[in-house]
Amino acid sequence: MNLIENLKWRYATKKFDPSRKVSEADLEKIKEAVSLSASSYGLQAYKVLIIEDLELRKKLQPASWGQSQITDASHLVVFCNYTKVNPEVIDGYLKLKATTQGLNFEDLKGYGDFMKSKIGALPEDAVKAWTAKQTYIGLGNLLAASAELKIDTCPMEGFESDQYEEILGLSKKGLSAAVIATIGYRSKEDATKDSKKVRKPVTELFETIK
């Protein structure tokens, strides 16, 4: 199972080689892996920003606790969750579903009404928390896909979401910065690159209930 070996290979890269860039071909593979991520109702209530622009990343670095990965990595990936899921979002998904699967849009009305009633009953902060959780599933696929391509990553929660939202103009788009990741290639000078991976034993992490 190559996935296991790839996951053993990856680690949260602390120092990237700024001279090495992820190719467009590999970037497209990573994007496809993220797009295939599971999400509640299939809504994909988030948007993923891939930031290559170095000057923009320099502006974001102070809002990222000054971490060098922000500017040294090949790309900065920002997972932005929807702050609201209005009926138009749900209808848009149902239209896509109808077109993709050759269905009649009207036949999906009951499913749409169900989603609207469930999501509409949630307080705004609960909706925001729910959509933010969806981004982490996409992040997991990004980490796994990158590892398969031998591309290094660093998932990061060490950043100021409100400052990201201001710099990137997210609020006016109905988005919030949930989690970020940097992708690229490890530096030979990264002191953590040869450290043994620390994980709980499987026997401690899992409990089987029969």
The span from the CA of 161 to the CA of 177, in Å, is 5
At residue 22, the 3 state secondary structure works out as coil
Q: Give the model confidence (pLDDT) of 72-126 as tens digits.
A: 999 999 999 999 999 999 999 999 999 999 999 999 999 999 999 999 999 999 9
Tokens of 173: 């788009």
The total of other beta-carbon atoms located within 10 Å of residue 177's CB is 24
Q: Which residues pair with 155 in a beta bridge?
A: 181
Q: What pLDDT was estimated at residue 1?
A: 78
What does the alpha-carbon distance between residue 21 and residue 152 come to, in Å, rounded to a whole number?
11
DSSP 73: S
pLDDT of residue 167: 98
Give the dihedral sign, CA 15/17/23/26: negative
> What is the 8-class DSSP label of residue 21?
-
Alpha carbons 86 and 166: distance in angstroms, whole number: 23
CA distance 82 to 175: 5
User: What are the pLDDT digits (tens) for 28-66?
Assistant: 999 999 999 999 999 999 999 999 999 999 999 999 999
